[in-house]
Amino acid sequence: MALQKAQALTAHVKNFYNKFEKYLADKAFENNNISTDKMDEDQVANYDLAWVAAELFAIEEMIAYPGKVDKGAGSIEEHLSLFFIADALADMLSRFRPAAQKMGISSQQFENEVHASEIYAFTTEYSSEAFAKKIADNLAANRDFGAYGLNDDQAMMADTFRKFAEGQVKPIAEKVHRQDLTIPDEIIDGLAEMGCFGLSIADTYGGFQSEANPDHTSMAVVTEELSRGSVGVAGSLITRPEIVAKAIAAGGTEEQKQKWLPLLASGEKKCAVAVTEPDYGSDVAGMKVAAVKVDGGWKINGVKTWCTFAGMADVMLVLARTNPDLKLKHKGLSILLAEKPPTRDHEFDYKQPQGGRCHGKAISTIGYRGMHSYEVVFEDYFVPDENLIGGEAGLGKGFYLQMAGFAGGRLQTAARATGVMQAAIEKALQYAIDRKIFGKPIIAYGINQYKIAKMAAITQAVRQMTYKSARLMDKHEGAVEASLVKFYSCRISEWVTREALQIHGGMGYAEEYEVSRLFVDARVFSIFEGAEEVLALRVIARSLLARALGLKAA
């Protein structure tokens, strides 16, 4: 009954959301399309629209969650769902009040339209300290964070990689982080032997992804479990092969697929992605790194930055301007595969026999250590014609091929955030049980019970959103959902890890405790694979407004 009530209340809020979406779409409509300039006049409102769209997605999954895992009334699954929904509904009302004023809707009309009084009653019951205590007591007694909803094969995969994370990743995670080391070979080799790098590559090219029956959930499960051990040591290792392989699969020639996909799937060739430039982050259309046609290939000149894993990589996917006409914007970009010798060093300088050069230096960061992100300089760096993705047919299609890979990368980022949040809640729960203040364990205090309940509810909601997006990707759908869960999970993981650190008090700020690493690692999620604001405004909100007006593409 409670979940049915939640569904009814959500429907009222969604009706208002649809009205607000249409209002913003009409304001941004110009010349038969969505105008970016018009959208920028309402950036805060469009950001809120994207956030609420993500919350609605999460609520829908949490309404379905208990039934999907066959759990009934009174279960931890139902309690987590109700707590999350109540908290999210309250947040949506607070965001929609200024939206109503913007639309000329009176406060009373707004309250009536969304059935605010019923929502207040619902949130008072299911977002209360008393209800949070039920969840926290259950978690403390049983360490049961709720069923994941996996099939037998996926559950076995989760167990296998959880054991690897516990036995191989966690024991070295703190050392790698504190000493800023490169990922040890035994981790990379171990994951290669387990087939980790082939999870997103079709079985026809040596991978483990069935073309007939894709399973992106398994990839998400593996990413989550490895990230639970360490996102810098293991959780991000399969993201770059995912992005590069998807780009090759989407636009490469058959010869390129036959050559590169098996090498990536086996881990024989490690890869990096060189897209971002110092002056152009998410503004791909303005990129200036150029590839000029020469006899037998191309010469690349320019600087790329935030090239994660570039040192260890044998090959870098480089998004370069193959047409010098800047008016073409993203339509003048192509993808080239630039090969180089791998190195474990924080700096490299490779000179080609042909005279070209590429040199790079790792960027010092507060977290996400192990992978290392480099600034890479190309000077007349030669790439043969056979490494232009798609050959001549691929000229000008680099942006689109890159985006084919980034949808999967966003899904993986959500899974990485889930793994880090799961590790944080586990650490916070154990510390709250063990630590005593004023004569009793700190989990006995209402504020900590509330935090732990909310952390667990959020983590499960993100997990279910991620799995839903993965199932949609199996059907070659879900690009918007992958963006929504990336956007939501990355921002919310900062709150979860922050509260986990806060529960540890002063010790949470000490590197002696793992939770400090989880906190700084989570901070990067809102930046890479699409910066939070750009993702919200240029990708999500733009797509939502186009949908509201029935436009095919924004």
- 209 close to 368: Cβ distance less than 8 angstroms: no
Confidence (pLDDT) at 554: 47
Q: Which residues contact 349 (CB under 8 A, 6 or more apart)?
A: 357, 359
pLDDT band at 206 (very low <50, low <70, confident <90, very high): very high
CA–CA distance, 240 with 267 (Å, rounded to integer): 11
Residue 233: CA count within 13 A, CB half-sphere? 31
Q: Please count the other Cβ atoms lying within 10 Å of the Cβ belonging to residue 144.
A: 12
How far CA 454 is from CA of 84, 129, 274, 357, 489, in Å, comes to: 7, 11, 38, 51, 14
Count of Cβ atoms closer than 10 Å to residue 301 Cβ = 16
Q: How far apart are CA 531 and CA 375, in angstroms?
A: 18
Residues pairing with 320 in the sheet: 334
pLDDT of residue 285: 63
Can you give the pTM of this predicted structure? Answer: 0.94
User: Which of 225-239, 283-297, 364-378 shows the lowest mean pLDDT across its residues?
Assistant: 283-297
**pLDDT value at residue 325:** 84
Q: Of 294, 313, 273, whose CA–CA distance to 354 is shortest?
A: 294
Helix 129-142 vs helix 76-102: crossing angle, to nearest 10:
140
pLDDT-wise least confident of 117-121, 181-185, 250-254, 531-535: 531-535
Quick check: 281 pLDDT over 70?
no
Residue of 379, 394, 380, 385 whose CA lies nearest to 299: 380
Choosing from 21, 225, 242, 529, which is the catalytic residue? 529
Compute how many other C-beta atoms are within 10 angstroms of the C-beta atom of residue 38.
17
d(CA 525, CA 117): 36
pLDDT at 362 over 70: yes
Domain 2-127 CATH (choose: 3.30.1070, 1.10.1760, 1.10.150, 1.20.140): 1.20.140
Q: Answer yes or no: are the C-beta atoms of 362 and 346 closer than 8 Å.
A: yes
Q: How far apart are CA 213 and CA 209, in angstroms?
A: 8
User: Which tokens hold the place of 164?
Assistant: 């690897």
Of the ranges 72-86, 199-213, 395-409, 472-486, the best mean pLDDT one: 72-86
pLDDT digits (tens, 9 = 90+) for 521-554: 999 999 877 789 999 999 999 999 999 999 875 4
State the architecture of 271-399 in CATH terms.
Beta Barrel (2.40)
**Strands 347-351 vs 290-294: parallel, antiparallel or unpaired:** unpaired
| Averaged pLDDT for residues 71-89 | 96
CA-nearest of 202, 321, 215, 310 to 265 is 202
The pLDDT-based confidence of 404 (bands split at 50, 70, 90) is confident
Which pairing describes strands 271-274 and 315-321: parallel, antiparallel, or unpaired? parallel
Q: How far apart are CA 232 and CA 484, in angstroms?
A: 23
Judged against a pLDDT cut of 60, whether residue 282 lies above it is answered with: no
Q: Where are the domains of the chain?
A: 2-127, 271-399
Mean pLDDT for the stretch of residues 165-174: 96
How large is the average pLDDT for residues 386-393? 96
**Whole-angstrom distance, CA of residue 257 vs CA of residue 240:** 16
Residue 529 known to be catalytic: yes
State the Cα angle at 435 between 175 and 494, rounded to 5°.
55
Q: What is the dihedral sign for C-alpha 272, 291, 350, 353?
A: positive
Q: What are phi and psi of 334, to 5 degrees?
A: -135, 170
How far apart CA 395 and CA 332 sit, in angstroms, is 8
Task: Report DSSP state, residue 35.
Answer: -
CB 289, CB 333: distance < 8 Å: no
Q: Would you place residue 211 in the very low, low, confident or very high pLDDT band (cuts 50, 70, 90)?
A: confident
Higher pLDDT, 280 or 365: 365
pLDDT given at position 329: 83
When pLDDT is cut at 50, 70 and 90, the band that residue 267 belongs to is: very high
Residue pair 45/24 in contact (Cβ under 8 Å)? The answer is yes
